[in-house]
Structure 1
């Protein structure tokens, strides 16, 4: 949302609408749209009939990052637009004035919280919705051309791709390709457990000791008899204190462990314990109470 206020000095602020509109900005992010709106709005204000009678101009935005960069050194996306805004803002005091009582003034940029009761917010939101609908329509047309295999020459009035949009698109592309790679190349143990991909895996909230035990049980790489035998570790203990071989799922079946602390997972199967958020949480709590890997089934 962008709102421009022209301060007319002792005549008070201009209340009437000077201009409004929307732009279709494909391959842009919200940050880029806000920066472009600030720049276009500032130019419109400078060219308005009120400008020669105005002292200060206030640019109000509900995007805090854009407001900060408009007043400082731009970084990341839309740097050219932000520098152009600053150039126009610096030229504001040199504009011709029609009244000697009017001081040159300055352009002030302020951040305001969204939906803070600022006049004009609803109008600005409506223009943003129109612009968004234009983008969606443009995207649908582009998709249709792509399906037909057409190669169209870029239009000269099409805004260039912004860094923020390209960065997000590349991240999404990477994630999609990684998902496809995982579906074909996931370790068999993870396929058997039906463990998919998650951008924010719930198990990362577990303490490090529990997380290590969980990953070892999932992968089979740890203090287990089969693992030690595979790599020829001769100085290791292959059995639990209960007399059974150490296996990735032995904690679930060990009677000594169950006697030390009853299992909190009830009738749920071991796969569910190793896969689900509630299962891994119950595993952590049980390991804390039973001291299973410290006293019952410790490493040699």
Structure 2
């Protein structure tokens, strides 16, 4: 018996998952098991694991079970396939252990015809969306499950769902906190939050200069005066005080290398991806902080 299993999750606010399975038997591919399940507060991983377990239970109850030697569980999630055959970790551990217990019980099933060898349950990964008919059937069942009405005795929330929900809630609250409590320098530059900040791709030296310009903590006259640094140089070699934005206005910097930002204002240079990239390239050409506005 070949049993295809799959999981799916809606992309709406509820993010309900669905488990689906489809099995066929014999050379003529007679349908032997088909079904789906609605799984609120589950991730796709959890739905995949549940589909494998519920599909195997359906194989036990199928009319072909007494005449079936081996059951082949075919799914397109490599991580679930590995955990079904090994030590479960993370989410859905109880479901995976229940699957393994059921798989171990297959050879000793009570309804097996005496002429049929005990057989085994085999788990095999297959590529998804590759035109495999059984996989497409299981995928359709999983989507039906996600769109269907949950049962009254729905399984409890899974760890994977709780973990994702907690991360999303933390991010939402952090964004609200930042909107109210961001330092004034960051507010003036309209620097928000990004899970993958583009500036982290900058070389370390440029990133340091950028963060100093954002925060005002660096080799700047006001910073040195604030903390009483007496052995520091407060002016650029051009004669003007060092400030976070001085690189933008320094005439010696202009002379050393034409600045590439055209009509863009300094705040756009410091916050936009193209601006920070141009800043890095200009610093490399002009050697601004090494020869023109150095610390010593």
TM class, shorter-length: 0.7 to 0.9
Q: Give how far 1:82 is off.
A: 0.3
Stretch of structure 1 that moved more, 98-107 or 219-228: 98-107
Stretch of structure 1 that moved more, 109-118 or 204-213: 109-118
Q: What residue is the counterpart of 1:113 in the other structure?
A: 127
Alignment match of 2:32 (pick from 11, 14, 18): 18
Stretch of structure 1 that moved more, 201-210 or 17-26: 17-26
Give the Cα–Cα distance (whole angstroms) in 1 for the partners of residues 278 and 266 of structure 2.
Answer: 12
SS of aligned partner of 1:199:
coil
Q: Give how far 1:145 is off.
A: 29
Q: Give how far 1:102 is off.
A: 2.8
Q: What residue is the counterpart of 2:140 in the other structure?
A: 144
- Summarize the Cα distance change of 1:142–1:247 in structure 2 as closer, same or farther, 3 Å threshold: farther
Where do 5+ consecutive residues of structure 2 fail to align? 8-22
- Summarize the Cα distance change of 1:271–1:293 in structure 2 as closer, same or farther, 3 Å threshold: same
Deviations, residues 88-144 of structure 1 (Å, cap 9, x unaligned):
0011111246555532211111111111221xxxxxxxxxxxxxxxxxx99999999
- Summarize the Cα distance change of 1:7–1:66 in structure 2 as closer, same or farther, 3 Å threshold: closer
Deviations, residues 135-175 of structure 1 (Å, cap 9, x unaligned):
xx999999999999999999961210100000000000000
> Which structure: greater helix fraction?
1
TM-score by length of structure 2 reads 0.84
Q: Give how far 1:11 is off.
A: 9.8
- Summarize the Cα distance change of 1:76–1:162 in structure 2 as closer, same or farther, 3 Å threshold: same
The size of the alignment, in residue pairs, is 281
Stretch of structure 1 that moved more, 216-225 or 10-19: 10-19
- Summarize the Cα distance change of 1:11–1:199 in structure 2 as closer, same or farther, 3 Å threshold: closer
Alignment match of 2:48 (pick from 34, 52, 68): 34
Give the Cα–Cα distance (whole angstroms) in 1 for the partners of residues 149 and 5 of structure 2.
Answer: 41
- Summarize the Cα distance change of 1:141–1:254 in structure 2 as closer, same or farther, 3 Å threshold: farther
Give the Cα–Cα distance (whole angstroms) in 1 for the partners of residues 134 and 166 of structure 2.
Answer: 20
Deviations, residues 234-292 of structure 1 (Å, cap 9, x unaligned):
00000111111100000001111111110011111000000100000000000011111
- Summarize the Cα distance change of 1:28–1:266 in structure 2 as closer, same or farther, 3 Å threshold: same
SS of aligned partner of 2:263:
coil
> Which structure: greater strand fraction?
2
- Summarize the Cα distance change of 1:173–1:152 in structure 2 as closer, same or farther, 3 Å threshold: farther
Give the Cα–Cα distance (whole angstroms) in 2 for the partners of residues 142 and 73 of structure 1.
Answer: 25
Q: State the superposition RMSD in angstroms.
A: 7.0
Q: What residue is the counterpart of 1:215 in the other structure?
A: 211
Is the 8 Å Cα contact of residues 38 and 146 (structure 2) preserved in structure 1? no
Is the 8 Å Cα contact of residues 7 and 55 (structure 1) preserved in structure 2? no
SS of aligned partner of 1:169:
helix
Is the 8 Å Cα contact of residues 5 and 13 (structure 1) preserved in structure 2? no
Deviations, residues 62-96 of structure 1 (Å, cap 9, x unaligned):
11111111011001111000000000001111124
SS of aligned partner of 1:256:
helix
Give the Cα–Cα distance (whole angstroms) in 1 for the partners of residues 106 and 135 of structure 2.
Answer: 37
Q: Give how far 1:21 is off.
A: 2.0
Q: Give how far 1:23 is off.
A: 1.3
- Summarize the Cα distance change of 1:150–1:177 in structure 2 as closer, same or farther, 3 Å threshold: farther
SS of aligned partner of 1:156:
coil
- Summarize the Cα distance change of 1:278–1:103 in structure 2 as closer, same or farther, 3 Å threshold: same
- Summarize the Cα distance change of 1:238–1:172 in structure 2 as closer, same or farther, 3 Å threshold: same
- Summarize the Cα distance change of 1:226–1:13 in structure 2 as closer, same or farther, 3 Å threshold: same
Where do 5+ consecutive residues of structure 1 fail to align? 119-136
